[in-house]
A and B are shown apart, each in its own frame.
Chain A
Amino acid sequence: MNLLERLIARNKKLLKEMEAHPDPTQMRSNRLALELELDGYSELLEAWRKGKPILTHFPSSGMARAMGALHALYQDILLCTPAPEEGLKLYQVARDMGMPDYMCDVFTLPAAAVKTGEFPPPIVATSGTGGACRVWMYHMKAFAQYFAEQSGIPVFDIDTPHDYSEESIKYMADQLAELIEFVEKHVPGLRYNEAEHAKIIEANRTWVQYCLKDWELKKTIPMPLINKENALLPLHFDPSLYGDREKVLEFWRQRVEDVEERVAKGTDREEKLRILWLNPLPLYVDIFSLLDRLGVSMLTWIPPLAAFNGWRANWGDEKEFGRKLTPLEEEARFMFGDIYGSQEWADEVVWMCKELSCDAIVYYQLVGCLHIGAPIRMVADTVREKLGLPTLVMRGRLYDPTNLPPNEVESTLKAFVDAVLARKG
C-alpha cells in the first residue's frame, strides 16, 4: 500500500468509528473534514491509476484545475498526516537523491515520497516558484532536474521576483501564461479555461472570508477549542485542491458555525497561557495534547498566509491596485502573499500576538528553513521590545527525533511555560 492508500484506509476507518460511536462533544465539521480529505486522496489515487494528468510541483492548484488537471500539495499531506515512521524512512531516500542533508523537510520529504512511489510522479515540472522562499525555488529546481534525468519530463523554469509590487505581479503572471502554453504543448488533453479559473478564484475568495472569521474567533479568551481543533491549517482546505469546491465551502461554513457555537457556549477549560507557535512542529511528539495538559492554548502554528490576516489583499480584491486583476495576476499575487522582509515578518508577528492576546512565542527553527527560520533573533527582539513577550527557540526537524528527543521537547516546553507563568504572576 502506498501512502495515499493508507490514508484512504485511515480516513474510512475514522469515519466508520464516528458513525458507530457519535461523540456529541466533537465538532460537526470534523466529519466533513475527514470526508474531504478522503475525497481528495481518492481523486488523486484514481487519477494516478488511470493515468490522468496530475501536475505535481506546479505553482498553483487553481491553475492546474483550470487546465483540467489535478494538483496535490504533497508537503501539506505530509504535514497534516503526522506519521513519524513514514517521515523517518524518507530522510535516507532524500539523501540518496542527492538532496543536501540540511535541507528543509517541508521540501525534501515530499520529493522523497515521490521517489519511493508514495505519491504520483511528475509529468511536467516547474522550478522557481516557491512564492516567497528562495530555498524552495532551488528545491523545485533540484526536484525537476532529478525527474528530468530519470524519466525525461519537460521542465519549465520560472524566475520569481524578489519584491512584492504590481510590476512583479505582472512579470510573474506573464510567466504563468508561458507556463500554460508549455504545459498545453507537452501534456495532451490539457487546455486552460480562463472562465473556470475565474470561478475557482471566486471560491477562493469565499474561502478566505471564512478563514478570516476563523481568525477572529481565535481571539476569544479563554479559547474554547482544544489545541488539535484549533490547529486546522487554512491551506489544507483550499477549495482548488478538491474536486467538489462547494463541499469545501460547506465545510468552512460549518466549521465557523461550530466554533461560534463553542464561543457562545463558553468553556470551563482553564487557559493559563496563550502562545503563538511559529513554523511547523516536531511531528513525532503530540505537542497539541502536551500543551492542553499544561493549560496552554496554541492559537496558531505555521502562521497563516498573510492573506488570511489582512496584511495583504485578498483574492479578487480590486482596491490594492485600483483595478480588477486577471486570474493569472490573482495567482501571482497570492504566491507573493507571503513575501516578507524580515522586519515585515517581525512586525507581522507583533501584530498577530496583539490580535490573539498572546503571552509568549514558541519558534521552531526547522533545520534548513532560512525563510522563516533565519529572522528568529530579529523577531524575538522585536516582540520583546514592543510587547515584552518572551520567545522560546527550539531547533529540530519534522520527523527526526535524534536532533531533539521527545523528552527534551517536553521538558523544554514545561520549563518555558513555568517561567512565563511565574513572570505573569
Chain B
Amino acid sequence: MEDKFKQLVSAGDPKNRTRWAREWQKQGKKVIGVLDSLVPEEVIYAAGMLPWRIQGSWHEDVSRAMTYRHPQGNTFLNHVLESFLAGELDFLDAMVCSNRDEDFRRFRDYWEWLDKKHPAYIIEVPTKDTEKTRQRFTTKIRDFIGFLEEMGKVKLDNNTLRKAIAIYDKGYSLLRKIHELRKKEVPPLSGSEALGITTAAMVMPRDEFNKELEELLPYLVQRKAEVSHPRPRVLLSSDMLDNPAYVELVEQAGCLVAMDDLDNGSRYLWKTTDGNSQEPAYDLARRYIQNGSPRMFDWRGQIGQIVKWVREYNIDGVLELVDMFDYPRSFRRPYLEKWLKEEGIPSMSFDRDYCLANVGQLKTRIGAFLEILQAKAAG
C-alpha cells in the first residue's frame, strides 16, 4: 500500500504527469489543458474530455519565455510559457484559463498568437459573490459548454453534467477526508505529500483517481507520516504552487505544514458542488465563485477561513509564499498580516519564484520565522 501511495503522490511529477493524458488520447479522446483552479473542470469531463492541469517547467531557465513576458509578470506563467515554447504542451487539444488577473488574460493572448492550431479559451469568473454575479458566471459556463460541444462534436445535457459533478464531488469529499486527517498530531501525510495528492487529482481521470484514493483511505487513516518536526505546525498560503518539493523545503527547515491555503490544495477541494438543482451550470457557478482566491474581492472572508483553519488544525503560524508578481495576492498581503495579527496569529510573507530557486535564502527566511514561532511557544 505504501508503494501505491507513493505512486499516487508522484503522479504530478514531470516524469509522470502526462501519462494519463497520453492514454486518454490513444482512445481518441481530447485533452484540455487547464491553467488555473477557477476553471470548472467538471464541464470538460462531462464533454468526454480530460481536464489536465498545466504546470510550468520546473527548470530555472526561462530565457525563451522572457522574450515575450513582462519582467513583472508572475513567475508561474513564465515557466508555463517556457514549457509551451519547448513543445512540452503540444499534445494538448486546447487550453483554457480564467481571467484570474491581467497577467492571465495577456498570457492567454500570447498562447493564441503563438499557437494557431489549438484554441485558447478564456472563461470570465466574477470577482464577487452575489446572485447577479452567479447568474453572469452561469451564462459564461454555458458559453464554455458551447465551445466544448463544438470542439468535441458532442452534445452535453444536464444529466451528463450532473454525473460529472457527482464524480468530482466524490473526489473532493475523499480529498477532504484526507485533509481532515491532517488535524492529527502526527498526521498520516506530510504537507508535501498532501500537495502531491491534490496535484495527482488534476492530471488523472477523476474516476480513476477516486478509485485509487478510496482504496488508499483505510491505509492512510492508520498511517503516520515520517515527520521530523511535529511542531511548529504551519499553514502554508500561496497560489500557483504545484511543486511538492517547495513544501518539503519548508518542512525540512524544521516544521510541519499541517494545513494549507493553496489553490492547488485545500481551496481546490474544500467545497462540493451538489449539482442537483434544475441548472447544474448554476451549481458550478456557485461553487467556483466561492473559491477563496485572493483575486476575489472578499478578502475578509478569505482570511476568516484561514483563521478558522488555524484554530481547527492547531496551527502555530501562517507562512505566505507569494509568487513574485502575483498582483491580487500582493495587494492583499498587508491585510493578511494585519488581520491575522489581530487574531493573535503569527505570520510571515515573502516572495518566491515558481521554480525552486534561491533555496539558501528561502531556508534562512523560513528558519527565522520558525524561530519566532518556537520562541512564542516557549513563552
Which residues of A come within 8 Å of B, CB atoms? 97-100, 102-103, 127-128, 133-135, 137-139, 141-142, 145-146, 149, 157, 159-163, 167, 171, 174-175, 341-343, 365, 367-371, 373-378, 395
Contact A162 B122 (CB under 8 A): yes
Bound: A46/B112 CA distance, A: 51
Q: Is B330 an interface residue (CB 8 A)?
A: yes
For the complex of A and B, the 9 pairs showing the least CB-CB separation, nearest first, are A98-B334, A342-B109, A162-B124, A374-B106, A134-B102, A100-B330, A142-B331, A370-B102, A374-B70
Distance A160 CA – B113 CA, assembled complex (angstroms): 25
Q: In this assembly, does B136 line the interface, its C-beta being within 8 Å of a C-beta of chain A?
A: yes
Q: Are A159 and B68 in contact (CB under 8 A)?
A: no
Q: Which residues of B contact A373 (CB under 8 A)?
A: 70
Question: Which of B127-135, B158-166, B168-176, B271-279 interfaces with chain A?
Answer: B127-135
B299 at interface by CB-CB < 8 Å: yes
Nearest-CB distance from A97 to chain B (Å)?
8
B297 touches A127 (CB 8 A): yes
**Minimal beta-carbon separation of B275 from chain A (angstroms):** 23
A174 touches B132 (CB 8 A): yes
Contact with A along B43-80 (1 / 0, CB 8 A): 00000000000000000000000011111110000000
Give which listed residue, B72, B112, B126, B332, contacts A159 with CB less than 8 A. Answer: B126
Q: Which residues from chain B contact A378 at a C-beta distance below 8 Å?
A: 68, 109-110, 113
Asked if B103 is at the interface (CB within 8 A of a chain A CB), the reply is yes
In the complex, how many angstroms separate the beta carbon of A374 from the nearest chain B beta carbon?
A: 4
Asked whether A141 lies within 8 Å of B105 as measured between CB atoms, the reply is: no
Nearest Cβ on chain A to B303's Cβ, whole angstroms: 11
**A137 and B335: CB pair below 8 A?**
no
Task: Name the B residues within 8 Å of A376 (CB-CB).
Answer: 70
Do B109 and A135 touch across chains, with their CB atoms under 8 A apart? Answer: no
Q: Which residues of B contact A142 (CB under 8 A)?
A: 331-332
Closest-by-CB residue of A relative to B107 is A374
Residues of B within 8 A of A (CB-CB), count: 39
Most buried by A among B102, B328, B335: B102
Residue B106 contacts which of A127, A162, A163, A370 (CB distance < 8 angstroms)?
A370
User: In the bound complex, what is the Cα–Cα distance between A162 and B99 (angstroms)?
Assistant: 7
Chain B positions near chain A (C-beta within 8 angstroms): 67-73, 99, 101-103, 105-106, 109-110, 112-113, 122, 124, 126-128, 132-133, 136, 139, 295, 297, 299, 325, 327-328, 330-335, 338
Contact assessment for B73 and A375 in the assembled complex, using a CB-CB cutoff below 8 Å: no
With A102-B325, A134-B101: A342-B110 Cβ-Cβ less than 8 Å: yes
Contact at B101–A138, with CB atoms within 8 Å? yes
State whether A342 and B334 are in contact (beta carbons under 8 Å apart), knowing that A135-B102, A370-B103 are contacts in the complex. no
Judging by beta carbons under 8 Å apart, are B124 and A342 in contact? no
Q: A142-B331, A374-B106 are in contact. Are A157 and B113 (CB under 8 A)?
A: no
Closest to B72 in A: A102
Q: Shortest Cβ distance from A162 into chain B, in angstroms?
A: 4
Q: Are A141 and B72 in contact (CB under 8 A)?
A: no
With A98-B333, A368-B72 as contacts: A138 and B299 at CB distance below 8 Å: no
Min C-beta distance of B136 to chain A, whole Å: 6
User: Smallest Cβ distance from A293 to chain B, in angstroms?
Assistant: 30
Q: Given A341-B109, A342-B106, does the pair A137, B127 have CB atoms closer than 8 Å?
A: yes
Which residues of chain B have C-beta atoms less than 8 A from A370's C-beta?
70, 72-73, 102-103, 106, 327
